[in-house]
Amino acid sequence: MTFPDEDHFDSLARDLIGCELPKSEWTHEAHFAAALWFIRHPVRNAEREMPSVIIAYNEATGVANTDTDGYHETITLASIRMAKHYLAAHPGDTALSDVLSGLMRSPLGRSSWPLDYWTKPVLFSVTARRRWVDPDIKPLPTQV
């Protein structure tokens, strides 16, 4: 899936929030697209809203939110923080499609990017899935 313009970001957000996004479209790129959309819309609070949206979406699409599957708090919040950091390095009028395209060409485009910051045992622990756990390899970049 590509996001060539703002309408595609709006459509993704609407379908995700409404639990109507086809499961096959909930990709690594779509996670970051949603994070960028939430961040760019100041009436939204990505850290507060995205977790409940993802949890509801998972339930609606048959994905159980358990100790081993479904919603992952640390990865979600880390992705939001990294999206904010990446977005902050661009002028405020930069199209989200351009930001997302660059982000996906960066190390964040690899779905394994969190393993640059957390060891597998820590990242994939039940604790990290249920609540924020600080990185144990190196800290995330600070907000700009």
Q: Could you write out the three-class secondary structure of the chain?
A: CCCCCHHHHHHHHHHHHCCCCCHHHCCHHHHHHHHHHHHHCCCCCHHHHHHHHHHHHHHHCCCCCCCCCCCCHHHHHHHHHHHHHHHHCCCCCCCHHHHHHHHHHCHHHCCCHHHHCCCHHHHCCHHHHHCCCCCCCCCCCCCC
Q: What is the pLDDT of residue 1?
A: 61
Q: What is the pLDDT of residue 44?
A: 80
From 4-8, 29-33, 114-118, the region with the lowest mean pLDDT: 4-8
Residue bearing tokens 């639990």? 19
User: Is 143 or 16 the better-scoring residue by pLDDT?
Assistant: 16
Q: What proportion of the chain, given as a percentage, has pLDDT over 70?
A: 98
d(CA 34, CA 132): 19
Q: What is the pLDDT of residue 143?
A: 64
CA dihedral sign, ordered 14, 17, 19, 21? positive
Domain ranges of the chain: 6-130
d(CA 8, CA 92): 19
Q: Which pTM was predicted?
A: 0.94
